[in-house]
Amino acid sequence: MTLTMPYAPQIVQNHLLSLKDYSPSEILELLALAAELKKPENKHLPLLQGKVLGMIFEKSSTRTRVSFEAGMLQLGGHAIYLSTRDIQMGRGETIADTAQVLSGYLDGIMIRTFDQATVEELADNSSVPVINGLTDDFHPCQVLADLLTIQEHFGTFKGKKLTYIGDGNNMSNSLMIGAAKVGMDITVACPPAYAPKPEMIELAKSIAVHTGSNIQVTANVVEAATGSDIIYTDVWASMGQEAEALERMKHFQGFQVNEQLVQHANSNYIFMHCLPAHREEEVSTEVLEGPNSVVFQEAENRLHAQKALLFALMAK
């Protein structure tokens, strides 16, 4: 693949609000481009020279902020950090007005916020690409990095089983959609009171019908982990749920990913976590730092997957 300015991936989408809008071929093309951009010789290709990305943060971040900002710099562009405490959207300016104003200044907008409707309204009123950096419903950028990591380790998604153990949150939603899109089986194990919303499960199953993926939700962690190629977990209380942390901890007893549980996975399994991790809560330090853990490779792949996405959307 020769990466020059005239090259553009065949991505028909104008935004990334959720992976549900992307076809399997579009996702695979983004992953192929990410693999190319990850090569050391392609690290500083000026594919977005002169382009500016605005990054709106209503939720704090480490990986999202640094990977997008570094990615834009490496692509020859620039990123501007916009906290909602610093811009007028945080003081009552409408999302629609904000979108139209920022569209006149920027070549793309990334937003990390609570409500999925905020991202969708921003996109509806923006004339430049809008990227969902995380909402309470979806985390598509993380899953692109996850899929890249899985592909690097196994070379294929077909016949692989991903097991997610933990809260039925934005990560479980996006992993179900991502796995269904690429034809990978996924089992979600969680306490019944914290299962993914029924509409999210049905959405993933409606996609899986066309790709042959198997989607399962269970409260039996051993059953879920058995025969897994990938074991994945996330914190039990996400941002905005801190007041529920103690109550949630009671419900999630028995859902920790530890050495006893991963013995039921395949011997060459990989352990994944979107980070930050609460050690000795959702995962034991032994597993997190063990030989099967790929969490820091996974974290680095945020950079490469997002560079591919930025190029695909902003070079049009």
Do 194 and 238 have their domain in common? yes
The response to whether 74 counts as a known ligand-binding position is: no
- Closest by alpha carbon to 56, among 90, 38, 83? 83
The response to whether 141 counts as a known ligand-binding position is: yes
- Closest by alpha carbon to 218, among 185, 178, 258? 185
pLDDT for the residue numbered 6 = 45
Do 153 and 291 have their domain in common? yes
pTM: 0.95
Do 154 and 287 have their domain in common? yes
pLDDT for the residue numbered 177 = 98
pLDDT for the residue numbered 175 = 98
Which are the contacts of 300, defined by CB distance < 8 A and separation ≥ 6?
A: none
Residue 1 lies in a domain: no
Which are the contacts of 261, defined by CB distance < 8 A and separation ≥ 6?
A: 165, 221, 222, 225, 231
The response to whether 239 counts as a known ligand-binding position is: yes
Do 50 and 121 have their domain in common? yes
pLDDT for the residue numbered 191 = 96
pLDDT for the residue numbered 19 = 98
pLDDT less than 70: residues of the chain: 1-9, 239-240
pLDDT for the residue numbered 92 = 87
Q: Match 């997002």 to its residue by tokens.
A: 306
- Residue 28's domain is classified under what CATH number? 3.40.50.1370
Do 19 and 150 have their domain in common? no
Do 27 and 87 have their domain in common? yes
d(C-alpha 255, C-alpha 221), whole Å: 7
Residues noted as catalytic: 112, 139, 142, 234, 274, 302
Do 131 and 163 have their domain in common? no
pLDDT for the residue numbered 246 = 82
Do 120 and 85 have their domain in common? yes
The response to whether 62 counts as a known ligand-binding position is: yes
The response to whether 88 counts as a known ligand-binding position is: yes
Residue 174 lies in a domain: yes
Do 146 and 238 have their domain in common? yes
Number of domains into which the chain is organized: 2
Question: Domain range for residue 182?
Answer: 140-296
d(C-alpha 237, C-alpha 278), whole Å: 10
pLDDT for the residue numbered 8 = 60
Do 128 and 164 have their domain in common? no
Residues in the chain: 316
The response to whether 61 counts as a known ligand-binding position is: yes
Under a CB-based contact definition with an 8 Å cutoff, are residues 194 and 248 in contact? yes
pLDDT for the residue numbered 7 = 56
DSSP count for the chain of H helices, then E strands: 12, 9
Token pair belonging to 293: 């853990």
Token pair belonging to 180: 């269904």
Rg (C-alpha) for the chain, rounded Å, is: 19
Residue 5 lies in a domain: no
DSSP conformation class of 133: E
pLDDT for the residue numbered 185 = 98
Do 85 and 150 have their domain in common? no
pLDDT for the residue numbered 11 = 86
